Chains A and B, each alone.
Chain A
Amino acid sequence: MTTDYATGGSPAAPGPDAKAPILEVRDLTVEFFVDGEWFPAAVDVEYDVRPGEVLAIVGESGSGKTQSSMSLIGLLPPNGRASGSARLAGRELLGLNHKQLSSVRGKDVSVIFQEPMTALNPVYTVGFQIVETLRVHFEMTPKEARARAVELLRLVDLPNPEEAVDKYPHQLSGGQRQRAMIAQALACEPKLLIADEPTTALDVTVQAEILKLMRDLRHRVDAGIILITHDMGVVADLSDRVMVMKNGRVVESGTSDEIFNRPQHTYTRQLLDAVPHLGSETLAAQGLHGDHPVAEGAGALRVSERPLGQPLQRPGTLDASQTGYALEASGLVIEYPGRGRVPAFRAINGIDLAIGKGEVVGLVGESGSGKTTVGRAAVGLLPVAGGSLKVNGVELAGIKPKDLRAVRQDVSIVFQDPGSSLNPRLPIGESIGEPLKLHKIASGADLDRRVESLLDRVHLPRAMRNRYPHELSGGQRQRVGIARALALSPKLLIADEPTSALDVSVQARVLELFQELQREYGFACLFISHDLAVVEILSNRIAVMNKGDLVEVGPRAQILRAPQQDYTRRLLAAVPVPNPAEQKLRREERDRLLAAAAPAGTSAAQAAVADGQRVQAFEDEQITNAGRYEGNIRPRGPVDGGSV
């Protein structure tokens, strides 16, 4: 083994007040049996966890961070095996049989999973699931167990624990579900808590709350916590010690302070550099005007006044040089049609937004804010219910399917998940060439040539054109998605969270590519993201959405440095920053903001949450339904025909 640190997971000099480690892992190796060979997923991992201490295991997907932790409680897939030693309070965990493991799981070691919606059983109430965990491990009457469940829910700051205990998972919001999940994990006062990407599936503001809760909890319950994450910001917020993994090996480990301020290994440095750092761009790049095709503030700033009630900046009309907008929405309303007795739901509530030619506008908001809905409407995937939406000068409201085809020659979209937006049965070359073929722009040898040049543009080897999506990594797939979107040299590109499904270092490369292509092609772009730091890198202007309304639109420097609206400020304060000291300051700032907002806007905030939840629930449902149709279920869905 050739890691370039000597101490392993046990720091050379634990503090004098350090307690004895609750978990000692030595020489842990996890292997997977694939196709007649053992492939190591993690090699010679060593670490200690002490009570009340948070150890963060950081790494990209495929680095073995999850598998090495899951092997501790025997949760490896059937073709995996673990060797080495892991002692929990002196008791060897590896090699326990099924029965012994069941007594350890939940009681001594418990897990907080990434996706609370799938980790909680949807047919039982939250309370039932906690009670079940309790009664499996302790002699308890149902009544005692229930009382304890309420107490646990109170511990994780779930509002109205007496009521929440009888709620089903789908009745709770994403953050509340994660709290319930944590309550269940804490039910038996475990000695060790494994949190596997506990906040990845959550919005930034909710993430901030969950992190705050976990920070409080580590003092209240004296458990060792292993935090598995790829997000350096989360690590900075929470961890005492950090272990960086790459390709199954530990490349560096040390205290949080050491890793963030004096990283030794190049990979750690790369990882830290790859994280988009909120504020870096606006503060550093003052000479920005030269870099971008449209100078900041010069264009197209029009904002709906309706949700605000206070005048916003309106820097005049357009420059004479600008002959039109790439996208122009005024009073845009988008509704999801009702189903049966459920009334139609208004996802976009009359917004005004304009994107000048060649301009990049970032659209940020939490999940359920309707930002994706705007993007999909702009390419004609959702019908416009009211107001007007013009794309490259063509009105999309009430457009005929036939005319839509022409519109789509000049507008395209990059989807969030490259895994599902590429047809698994088509070689990627065919996927990229499809728009060209369908619009009868190129065929035969000419098509081949153009596909190859598009592959060159996104820095993929030409030989890959015959590969299938499943053979490509996430980053490569997203490059293919971008190449397809650029095939027709669109005037407007909708980028719907194109990097949120990718690892940080891959995300950094894709963003670089995106910038390069934007300079080259000069397309206008609506860049949708929940990540303010990403939006900051790319955008000329930033629009902030909240529950179907545009809250604030402005040049990015203004939005990031002098936000006018409380909502924007809260959003900004919630973004974790990969720097423990700065993160601490930001946390305090955020608490102050929330405290200030609390007396005035409690009911308003609750309404906002309820509304957002409704959109979220709707979108969730769409996603779940996508995988759930059985032959015997009659459709009740919106009847929008196949020709849209």
Chain B
Amino acid sequence: MSIQPPLEPHEGIVDPAENVENAIELKEVEGLSQGRIVLRRFVRHRGAMISAVVLTAVVLLVTTSIGWGPIPGWWQYGYKELNPIVNAGGAPTMGFDGGFTVGSHPFGQDNVGHDGFALVMRGTQQSLTVMVVIGLLSTTIGVVVGALAGFFRGRLDDLLMRFTDMIITIPVIMIGAILGVLVGGANPWSLAVALSLVSWTNMARLVRGQFLTLREREFVDAARVAGASSARIMFKHILPNAVGVIIVNATLLMASAILLETALSYLGFGISSPEVSLGQLINEYQTAFATRPWLFWWPGLFIVTIALCVNFIGDGLRDAFDPRQRRIPTRRALAKADARKARARAKATASA
């Protein structure tokens, strides 16, 4: 959602008496737009903020290290290069060897000499691509289907919702596997598009519910009386009000998308060799778990980190968009406020 421009400071209020009636609850949102309120609540959510930082760091690392498209990389090895094995068995060079050392292969090497770090970076790139594409595409499909069904109701609604039901009844992993094989596994883009086609259903239902609720609100009637067309009501009036639900659900969808991709690749239906993804890496090296566990642990760690971060951010967004969310003040904040008040009182008595 767009962050609204900052508001002008309070000026020229005509009727002071009417201003007084603004309730105490409004004090928190005084002079702020909806977008700013949400942003403020989000920034307060500690888990979400840490996750946002971690996720940004991961994305930065992944994009710059081995390079991505036009972005040049600073890491010395490519993910397809075969290098001489440095440590015995390709063990990681990173560790505490009289002080912290990174070495030339910090995540280790596999038996033929691929650099573990480069592989994991490349795998994360692919998994992130799949995640973002699924997130955007299935959100779009879901929003369009849900909006049409919820707004027009009637026969169109029945039709769209039965179609949605049909897709829901088939296990996603099964359709995903079939589509994945059909479109050919090597390309993450086509896999992402294929998975998007089956993962929009939940979004469609939620958006439909939102539209059904919002279309009964009086401001929609007001817009209608003002002469607004159906398209304008849908996109200008209803959609911005449903944006909270959409964003939250999109984030959670992305978290499950990365797990879905991993699962498919692990099963061998997703991205396949020579291309790498996190799931594919795990699949490829599961047999080497006993001898070269680092090949298994690092991709696993990245999957868990990304999924966790995205979930936390989704959680933070949900709290931020929920207008009923009341923050229960912490004890420290309470003590601070009390101290401030006592000081103010002391000052007042001193001056008097």
Tell me which residues across on chain B come within 8 A of A190, comparing CB atoms. Answer: none
A470 touches B29 (CB 8 A): yes
Known: A79-B326, A461-B13, A631-B209. A62 touches B23 (CB 8 A): yes
B213, CB-defined interface residue at 8 Å: yes
Q: How far is the CB of A68 from chain B (nearest CB, A)?
A: 13
- The B interface, classified by DSSP as helix, strand, loop or mixed, is helix
Q: Which residue of chain A has the shortest Cβ distance to B201 in the bound complex?
A: A631
B97, CB-defined interface residue at 8 Å: no
27 CB < 8 A contacts A-B:
A33-B329, A36-B333, A37-B340, A61-B21, A78-B328, A79-B329, A379-B225, A408-B225, A412-B226, A420-B218, A423-B240, A425-B237, A425-B240, A427-B4, A434-B228, A438-B227, A459-B15, A460-B14, A467-B7, A468-B4, A505-B17, A626-B213, A627-B213, A629-B150, A631-B205, A634-B158, A642-B151
A632 touches B205 (CB 8 A): yes
Known: A468-B34, A625-B216. A413 touches B222 (CB 8 A): yes
Q: How distant is the Cα of A467 from the Cα of B32 in the complex, in angstroms?
A: 8
Q: Kindly list 16 other residue pairs between chains A and B, CB separation below 8 angstroms, not including A420-B217, A468-B34.
A: A62-B20, A413-B221, A422-B219, A424-B219, A425-B240, A435-B226, A439-B227, A459-B15, A471-B31, A473-B19, A503-B21, A506-B18, A627-B213, A629-B213, A631-B206, A633-B209
Q: How far is the CB of B4 from chain A (nearest CB, A)?
A: 8
B212, CB-defined interface residue at 8 Å: yes
Question: Which residues of B, 161-196, contact A by the 8 Å Cβ criterion?
Answer: 161
Q: How distant is the Cα of A481 from the Cα of B225 in the complex, in angstroms?
A: 12
Option from B13, B22, B208 in Cβ contact (under 8 Å) with A62: B22
Tell me which residues across on chain A come within 8 A of B8, comparing CB atoms. Answer: 463, 466
A475 touches B7 (CB 8 A): no
> 0/1 per residue, A610-644, Cβ < 8 Å to B?
00000000000010011111111111010101111
> 0/1 per residue, A589-627, Cβ < 8 Å to B?
000000000000000000000000000000000100111
Question: Which residues of A, 44-99, contact B by the 8 Å Cβ criterion?
Answer: 60-62, 77-79
Tell me which residues across on chain A come within 8 A of B153, comparing CB atoms. Answer: 635, 637, 639, 641-642
B222 touches A415 (CB 8 A): yes
A34 touches B219 (CB 8 A): no
Q: Taking each of A484, A505, A629, which has the highest tally of chain B beta carbons within 10 Å of its own beta carbon?
A: A629
Question: Which residues of A, 481-531, contact B by the 8 Å Cβ criterion?
Answer: 481, 484, 487, 503, 505-506, 509
B152, CB-defined interface residue at 8 Å: yes
A421, CB-defined interface residue at 8 Å: yes
A113, CB-defined interface residue at 8 Å: no
Known: A38-B338, A420-B217, A425-B34. A435 touches B227 (CB 8 A): yes
A-B pairs with the 3 shortest C-beta distances?
A631-B205, A629-B212, A639-B154
**Count of A-B residue pairs with CB < 8 Å:** 185
A298, CB-defined interface residue at 8 Å: no
A247 touches B27 (CB 8 A): no
B46, CB-defined interface residue at 8 Å: no
Tell me which residues across on chain B come within 8 A of A38, comparing CB atoms. Answer: 337-338, 341
Q: How distant is the Cα of A415 from the Cα of B222 in the complex, in angstroms?
A: 8
B101, CB-defined interface residue at 8 Å: no
Tell me which residues across on chain B come within 8 A of A405, comparing CB atoms. Answer: 227
A506 touches B336 (CB 8 A): no
Question: Which residues of B, 204-258, contact A by the 8 Å Cβ criterion?
Answer: 205-206, 208-209, 212-213, 215-219, 221-228, 230, 232-234, 237, 240-241, 243
A409, CB-defined interface residue at 8 Å: yes
Q: How distant is the Cα of A28 from the Cα of B215 in the complex, in angstroms?
A: 44
Known: A37-B337, A62-B23. A509 touches B18 (CB 8 A): yes
Q: Taking each of B19, B31, B154, which has the highest tally of chain A beta carbons within 10 Å of its own beta carbon?
A: B154
A554, CB-defined interface residue at 8 Å: no
A36 touches B226 (CB 8 A): no
Option from A423, A425, A471, A643 in Cβ contact (under 8 Å) with B29: A471
Tell me which residues across on chain A come within 8 A of B213, comparing CB atoms. Answer: 626-629
Known: A36-B333, A476-B18, A635-B157. A484 touches B326 (CB 8 A): no
Q: How distant is the Cα of A39 from the Cα of B26 in the complex, in angstroms?
A: 11
Q: Which residue of chain B has the shortest Cβ distance to A413 in the bound complex?
A: B225
Interface residues of B (CB under 8 A from A): 4-5, 7-8, 11-15, 17-34, 150-155, 157-158, 161, 202, 205-206, 208-209, 212-213, 215-219, 221-228, 230, 232-234, 237, 240-241, 243, 326-329, 333-334, 336-338, 340-341
Q: How distant is the Cα of A626 from the Cα of B5 in the complex, in angstroms?
A: 31
B224 touches A631 (CB 8 A): no
Q: How distant is the Cα of A512 from the Cα of B129 in the complex, in angstroms?
A: 61
Q: How far is the CB of A344 from chain B (nearest CB, A)?
A: 16
Option from A35, A412, A462, A473 in Cβ contact (under 8 Å) with B18: A473
B329 touches A630 (CB 8 A): no
Q: How far is the CB of B84 from chain A (nearest CB, A)?
A: 57
A151, CB-defined interface residue at 8 Å: no
Known: A34-B28, A61-B23, A639-B154. A463 touches B12 (CB 8 A): yes
Known: A61-B21, A424-B34, A631-B209. A461 touches B222 (CB 8 A): no
Tell me which residues across on chain A come within 8 A of B215, comparing CB atoms. Answer: 642
Known: A32-B24, A484-B222. A408 touches B227 (CB 8 A): yes
B219 touches A420 (CB 8 A): yes
Tell me which residues across on chain A come within 8 A of B224, comparing CB atoms. Answer: 381, 644
Q: How far is the CB of B217 from chain A (nearest CB, A)?
A: 6
Q: How distant is the Cα of A630 from the Cα of B206 in the complex, in angstroms?
A: 7
Q: Which residue of chain B has the shortest Cβ distance to A417 in the bound complex?
A: B218
Option from A60, A413, A417, A470 in Cβ contact (under 8 Å) with B26: A470
A424 touches B241 (CB 8 A): yes
Tell me which residues across on chain B come within 8 A of A626, comparing CB atoms. Answer: 213, 216-217
Q: Which residue of chain A has the shortest Cβ distance to B219 in the bound complex?
A: A423
A474, CB-defined interface residue at 8 Å: yes
Q: How far is the CB of A257 from chain B (nearest CB, A)?
A: 28
Q: How far is the CB of B225 from chain A (nearest CB, A)?
A: 5
